[in-house]
Structure 1
Amino acid sequence: MKRIACLVALAVVTLGGSASAQDRAIEAKVEALLKRMTLDEKVGQLHQLTGRQMTGPGSEKFNDKLDDIRHGKVGSMLNVKGVAETREIQALALQSRLKIPLLFSLDVIHGYRTVFPVPLGEAASWDLEAMRLSAHIAAKEAAASGIHWTFAPMVDVGRDPRWGRVMEGAGEDPYLGAQIATARVRGFQGEKLGGLDSVMATAKHFAGYGAAIAGRDYNAVDMSLQQLHETYLPPFKAAADAGVATFMNSFNTLNGVPATGNRYLQRDLLKGQWRYKGFVVSDWASIKEMVEHGHAADLADAAAKAIDAGSDMDMEGYAYTGNLAQLVRSGRVKPALVDDAVRRILYKKFELGLFDDPYRYSDAAREQAVLNDPAHVQAARDVARKSLVLLQNANHALPLNKDVKSLAVIGPLAESRRDLEGGWIVASDESRVVSVVDGIRAKLSPATKLVVAKGCDAACTDTSGFKEAVAAANGADAVLLVVGETWDMSGEAKSRTELGLPGEQARLFDALAATGKPVVVAIMAGRPLVFNNVADRAAAILYTWFAGSQGGNAIADVLFGDYNPSGKLPMTFPRSVGQIPISYQQYSTGRPVLDEKNIVYRSAYIDAPNTPRYAFGHGLSYTTFGYSDLVLSKPAMGPRDKLEVSFTLSNTGPRAGEEVVQLYLRDKVASIVRPVQELKGFRKVKLAAGERRTVRFTIDRDALAFVNGRLERVAEPGDFVLMIGSASDAIHLRQEFRLLE
């Protein structure tokens, strides 16, 4: 074991460094207001109530809460939207004694009115500016409709596609996830909170939710603290560093303690070591759920444990509003804990400018103009194109010819609009959605005969339509099959034990392939699926995720070559469910698999290949790229040095294209065994046909660091392997270097 030489302290967040004059002014206003508040009014600021969207207009359940708003017993409302509704409800809050405005919040996950690809799809673009723009447009539209706060981005690392919420995240890698978290936070919040084109963002779910046992939503999580800090916390730390306004805790237990009541996570780490200045909101009723977990005896006990642990706002749990004041009066809860939570929430209300103008986000003219901005539609199409991943393309089956004499478009999702929107949208509006058939029809020559055959519905339990589909394929010069999950098969509470194509969709493909015609397959989904029969025989496969309201146009752009695909997988695609959880970031064992022909007494499966179907970072293009001339500025670097890396990237194919160049490192010997590969950098480079460009990376000490057994971030001296390639399993350049004492 080598001696630790370079200690890289776990970074401390100081949002904005020393307090500015504006910060000090807001702090003074918060303190002045806090002194005027009664205990009941303070507790009210910690209570988040559900609006009409969940309870129904005029419902007794909602109307019973209006008096609470008038009396200052509610601090925030979720599921309220639109200028008319937000103005109406804000007016009630201004009838309270201190006239403290409400925060209006909503799950704006991948678009407000303009629907972008689901977040996992966006992550496949590896285009940080595109993801920042997507979040910015969503924020701009939401803010114009009276919303102050979104519960996004989800930054959970996910390595188990059985867990449906991988759809909502950025995939399996902590480095890529951290970069995307930063981009999305800055997209939602802009340069500064308070802008009328921005909303407060939320980093969720804190923490470990993506490692739910067996991929079952809400299930327990059990892992070492070293693994937590190494793999699951970096995207949260990046979000905090980017100034994210709020954190949301998670439903799961972490090593036996519910995250909502986990003092180590929220008070010691987030608000302590990281010096986080925003506030923490519970997930839906997660404070109350600590009773069901068996961690709290009753709702009052749950409230006491949650506020002590650092949960500031109770989302729809009614734990604080019903119990917290009495807990303070009885001496069980310290008044300072309540004051700290209220102070954090009031600060954000002042920062948004709501005390100066409670209605500043609720402007009907701005709402009308922003929600009908045609630039947002074009942006949705562009982001969707960038998200599509060309998994395979045998014999250049794609792109299709626009002048093809006849084209058969087959499959249960070919004409679907709702499924392209995906889950977690604000409201479905199929009139604004372009289906795959719509997009194709707009591309084809007028002379082309287009035949559409469904084959079966999405569940595909009835195969009677297969005959018509096969006939359509037999009569066509080109065949496209559109299959996959429906929008409601991925997302929260959508865990699956099997990840194959639904119903008999795989048999529909087999029937078409039996015609002898090359079959191009487009697959919609919110997660990696298992489709070996398709992968073995399809002429080409385009993974489209749920591509959003402009998905049909984007898919057609790629199918016909008007856009050269550049997406890369942010998650590993397994060959079978038996390989899950799976990640490229695996560890070598004492008996590693050196090749598939020699697996006896090796860490291997005996009934299937041990490689994934498609590796992390994989994705093809209609052109080809060459990697050459790797140069390192020095063979060894000192603890304070930086290593400059350069190489030549060439477009060796017939058309312009973008390549996502990926840099991986391996620490060969360490006090904590390191993964065989770790992503530490990437660039998205656009080259014309025949163009060459020098691509550069800088490796510093932090890129070589890891979390050791004492939870210190360290870089240890020794030998490292540098790998540069087009995917985690397609390394084209490799060289060793050394970190010196």
Structure 2
Amino acid sequence: MARAQVHGFQGPRLGAPGHVIAGPKHFAGYGASLGGRDWDEVELSDSDLWNVHLPPFQAAINAGAGAMMAAYMHLNGVPAAANRNLLTTILRDKLGFKGFIGSDSGSVNKLVTQNLTRDTQDAAARAIAAGLDIEMVDPGKLAAMSKLPAAMAAGQVPQARVDEAVGRILKAKLRMGLFERPYIDEKAVEKTLNDPAHRRLARIAAERSAVLLRNENGVLPFDKRRIKSLAVIGPMAASAKDTLGPWVFEQNGASAVTVLAGLQQKLGKKVRISYSEGVRMPARMFPSPSATADKVPERPPLDETTEIARAAALARDADAAVVVVGEAMNMISEGGSRSSFTLPGRQQELLDAVVATGKPVVVVIFSARPLHLGETRAQAILDAWYPGSEGGTAIANLLFGDAVPAGKLPFSWTRSPAHAPNYYAQLISHKPNPVNGRYWNETSAPTYPFGYGLSYSTFEYTNLRLQQPSVPKSALVVLNVDLKNLGDRTADEVPQLYIHQRFGTSARPARELKGFQRVTLKPGETRSLRFVLSPDDLRYWSSATNGWVNNASAFDVWVGGNSEATLHGIFELTG
């Protein structure tokens, strides 16, 4: 995924027309903050750093990423923007990065706030000495790097290091052609945003990434012949901003197709559609450090109690209801950590009232993390994430069967923040059974496992076979599996390959995802799929040797539709 993003942003080479420099972020370990709270410190073992957090950056570097952004947080006590071990020893010397390294917004000045440096001159000197090349400055603030001449005069920074940083930046500008073509064509923006080919891809991306979490009694897809009236309910149903999600330019909001608009466009006058906002998103309890992210336009007040009752009445009067709930885009943006997985505000009360009508209810979730929907008895749950500019069109297609969901969860759907971190690739403890019984009072099993996602069809995995049950460490491990579409409609499935190394220099996780592919099968069709494991797929970084190892060992292998796959095989790595 990292490699694909770099190629998408940069094109086939740095400086390709119509492209920009890819700058992966935040380097590194930013996702492992204390308690999962954004901006908090990170204490990360070398094993986790090398086995989990650095491989995507390595893939981006190998794909040619021209820039890298250092993170805000302390990594093992040292802020990333001035962490020489991170930016020079690891990023440049060990991972082989050749581009320029930038700071996150204001993070050089904030080295003073983080109690690392005496003042901003010291901050600039420490950051550039650590390997930082360019500073992103908070709006209205003086750049810490403006103090570099004084720092150089004081002997804090050698001239050669400053020349090196300037050289990297100039080289990137030359390769991008910015001296010959310093300006873009602003008139092309609207044309690009509304390009039918782009809109089509946006719709397909939303259709393919949506994850169907529940579909009791096959309530989805809706039968176009039977649905004559539909209630569309919820604070996200007609919100263009929340459809697009966070970190999107304000002026693009008008281009988003909401769920309400997508259903109206799809169904036209054939289906009577009623709408209720239901409830509003609650205001932030504490002021945000980035006030601009929390500006909400003034709207007339909403009597939520009355509106919940009206929403239930609309559902009662319709053949089915679509309830769009979740988290507002600024709740999931930077600094948007929450202490609960419950629906914000009175959304749960709204959902319960609609479900209580007894009508078929489909819940569409806008969020980027697990949410707890109480004990809702809604028949179907579709996780749409933040589906983008054609999100409403995509969701309408999914609900009425013109697209078939096949998205898979990229995380374990943890039941409670108290269970976090709770990931599938844990080490097996000295008392492994029950793995999901770590709490005295409740199960620690996730609501939905990593890789989970339903379809409008069903699939069967059979006949797992290894080309060779025993292979040398330097050879490829090749296996095949048969996949059959048991349903009556063409659909996609995402077969996933997991391994477990039984013994070695270090203990290894219970399961690790090592391959996946998306397959389209016609009704009744069977296809033989091929998976290949290279020596790089089977190596890992061991704290016992302080380096990469490939062990001779027995390996378990599973193939299936999620991380709880049961189709199993064994191979031996020798030598």
Q: Which range, TM-score by smaller chain?
A: over 0.9
Find the aligned partners of 1:613 and 1:368 in 2 and give their Cα distance: 42
Aligned counterpart in structure 1 of residue 500 of structure 2, from 638, 656, 666? 666
Contact 1:568 1:660 in 2 (8 A): yes
**Match of 1:198?**
19
Offset, 1:368? 5.8
State how 1:341-352 maps to structure 2 within 5 Å: 341-352=165-176
Which of 445, 448, 458 does residue 271 from structure 2 map onto?
448
> In structure 2, do the counterparts of structure 1 residues 187 and 496 end up closer, same or farther at CA, with 3 Å as the change threshold?
same
Deviations along 1:64-116, one digit per CA (max 9) or x if unpaired, are xxxxxxxxxxxxxxxxxxxxxxxxxxxxxxxxxxxxxxxxxxxxxxxxxxxxx
1:352-363 aligned within 5 A: 352-355=176-179, 357-359=180-182, 361-363=183-185
Cα deviation for residue 445 of structure 1 reads 6.3
Q: Spell out the pairing of 1:564-713 with structure 2 (5 A cutoff).
A: 564-594=404-434, 599=437, 604-709=438-543, 710-713=545-548
Aligned residues, how many? Answer: 551
For residue 219 of structure 2, the aligned residue among 372, 397, 400 is: 397
Contact 2:485/2:521 (CA < 8 Å) preserved in 1? yes
Bigger relative contact order, structure 1 or 2 (CA pairs below 8 A, ≥6 apart): 1
Deviation, 1:364, is 5.3
Q: 1:489 — aligned with what?
A: 331
Picking from 86, 92, 95, the partner of 1:271 is 92
Gap runs ≥5 in structure 2: 283-301
Q: Provide the rounded CA distance (Å) in 2 between the counterparts of 1:608 and 1:397.
A: 30
User: Are 1:322 and 2:143 counterparts?
Assistant: no
- Aligned: 1:716 with 2:540: no
Identical-pair percentage: 41
CA positional deviation for 1:726: 0.2
Mean CA deviation greater in 464-473 or 677-686: 464-473
| Residue type of the alignment partner of 1:573 | W
Q: Deviations over 1:543-597 (max 9, x none)?
A: 111111111111000000000011111121111121112211111111123376x
Deviation at 1:472, TM superposition (A): 1.4
What residue number does 1:384 align with? 206
CA-to-aligned-CA distance 1:101-139 (integer Å, 9 cap, x gap): xxxxxxxxxxxxxxxxxxxxxxxxxxxxxxxxxxxxxxx
CA RMSD after TM alignment: 1.7
Gaps of at least 5 residues in structure 1 are 1-179
Aligned residue for 1:187?
A: 8
Secondary structure of the corresponding residue to residue 250 of structure 2:
coil
Query: Are the structure 2 counterparts of residues 430 and 306 from structure 1 closer, same or farther at C-alpha, using a change threshold of 3 Å?
Result: closer
Deviation at 1:392, TM superposition (A): 0.8
Q: Render the CA deviation track for 1:456-485: whole Å, top value 9, x for unaligned.
A: 223399322121122112222212211111
Structure 1 residue 297: deviation in Å?
1.0
For 1:547, the aligned partner's letter is: P
Q: What whole-Å deviation, never above 9, does each CA across 1:319-371 have from its counterpart, x for those lacking one?
A: 5543211222232211111111111111111111223x133x52356556434
Using the alignment, how far apart are the partners of 1:410 and 1:327 within structure 2? Answer: 60
The amino acid of 2:372's aligned partner reads: V
Deviation at 1:631, TM superposition (A): 1.0
Letter in 2 for 1:308: A
Return the alpha-carbon distance in structure 2 between the equivalents of residues 530 and 428 of structure 1: 32
Q: What does residue range 238-637 of structure 1 map to in structure 2 within 5 Å? A: 238-316=59-137, 318-355=142-179, 357-359=180-182, 361-363=183-185, 366-367=188-189, 369-403=191-225, 404-444=227-267, 446-459=269-282, 462-534=304-376, 537-594=377-434, 599=437, 604-637=438-471
One-letter code aligned to 1:644 = V
Cα distance in 1 between the residues matched to 2:368 and 2:435: 32
Counterpart CA distance in 2 for 1:419 and 1:366 is 25
Deviations 1:215-252 (A, max 9, x none): 22211101212221111111111111111010000000
Instruction: Describe the shift of the 1:313–1:406 C-alpha distance in structure 2 as closer, same or farther (beyond 3 A).
Output: same
Other-structure match for 1:725: 560
Go from structure 1 to structure 2 and tell me whether the alpha carbon gap of 1:367 and 1:516 turns closer, same or farther (over 3 Å shift): closer
CA distance in 1, matches of 2:271, 2:491: 28
1:228 partner letter? L
Contact 1:381 1:550 in 2 (8 A): yes
In 2, are the aligned partners of 1:463 and 1:504 still within 8 Å (CA)?
no
Deviations 1:44-66 (A, max 9, x none): xxxxxxxxxxxxxxxxxxxxxxx
Please report how far the alpha carbon of residue 447 of structure 1 lies from its aligned counterpart in structure 2 after TM superposition: 3.9
Quote the offset at 1:609 in angstroms.
1.6
Amino acid at match of 2:258: S
TM-aligned CA distance change 1:511 to 1:367, over 3 Å: closer
1-side partners of 2:13 and 2:270: how far apart?
Answer: 53
What is the distance in 2 between the residues matched to 1:447 and 1:344? Answer: 60
TM-score by length of 1: 0.72
* TM-score, normalised relative to structure 2: 0.93
Q: Is the 8 A contact 1:412 1:482 kept in 2?
A: yes
CA contact (8 A) 1:300 1:319 kept: no
**Given residue 577 of structure 1, which amino acid in structure 2 is its aligned partner?**
P
Give the secondary structure class of the aligned counterpart of 1:222. Answer: coil
In structure 2, distance between residues paired with 1:384 and 1:196? 27
* 1:408 alignment partner AA: A
Contact 1:453 1:469 in 2 (8 A): yes
Match of 2:406, SS state, is coil
Quick one: which amino acid aligns to residue 212 of structure 1?
S
Alignment partner of 1:205: what SS? coil
Distance in 2, matches of 1:608 and 1:401, equals 39
Q: Deviations over 1:171-218 (max 9, x none)?
A: xxxxxxxxx111000100000121221100101011111111012221
Q: Give CA-to-partner distance per residue, 1:236-293, whole Å, 9 cap, x none.
A: 1111111101000000001111111111111111111223210100111111111111
Instruction: Determine helix, strand or coil for the equivalent of 1:564.
Output: coil
Q: Is the Cα contact below 8 Å between 2:280 and 2:345 reproduced in 1?
A: no
Answer whether contact 2:228 2:271 (CA < 8 A) is retained: yes
What letter matches 2:548 in structure 1? R
Task: Classify 1:298/1:574 alpha carbon distance in 2 versus 1 (closer, same or farther; 3 Å).
Answer: same
Aligned counterparts of 1:451 and 1:362: Cα–Cα separation in 2: 44
From the superposition, tell whether residues 580 and 364 of structure 1 become closer, same or farther in structure 2 (CA, over 3 Å).
Answer: closer
Report the AA paired with residue 19 of structure 2.
S
Could you tell me how far apart the structure 2 residues matched to 1:413 and 1:320 are?
Answer: 41
Distance 1:461 1:293, change over 3 A: farther
CA distance in 1, matches of 2:337, 2:95: 33
Residues 630-639 or 586-595, more deviating: 586-595
Q: Whole-Å Cα distance in 2 between the matches of residues 663 and 342 of structure 1?
A: 45
AA matched with 2:209 = S
Q: Is the 8 A contact 1:627 1:732 kept in 2?
A: no
Q: 1:544 to 1:538 in 2, by over 3 A?
A: same
Is the 8 Å Cα contact of residues 319 and 360 (structure 2) preserved in structure 1?
no
| Contact 2:492-2:520 within 8 A present in 1 as well | yes
- What amino acid is the match of 1:720? F
Q: Find the aligned partners of 1:183 and 1:295 in 2 and give their Cα distance.
A: 36
Q: Is the 8 A contact 2:28 2:53 kept in 1?
A: yes
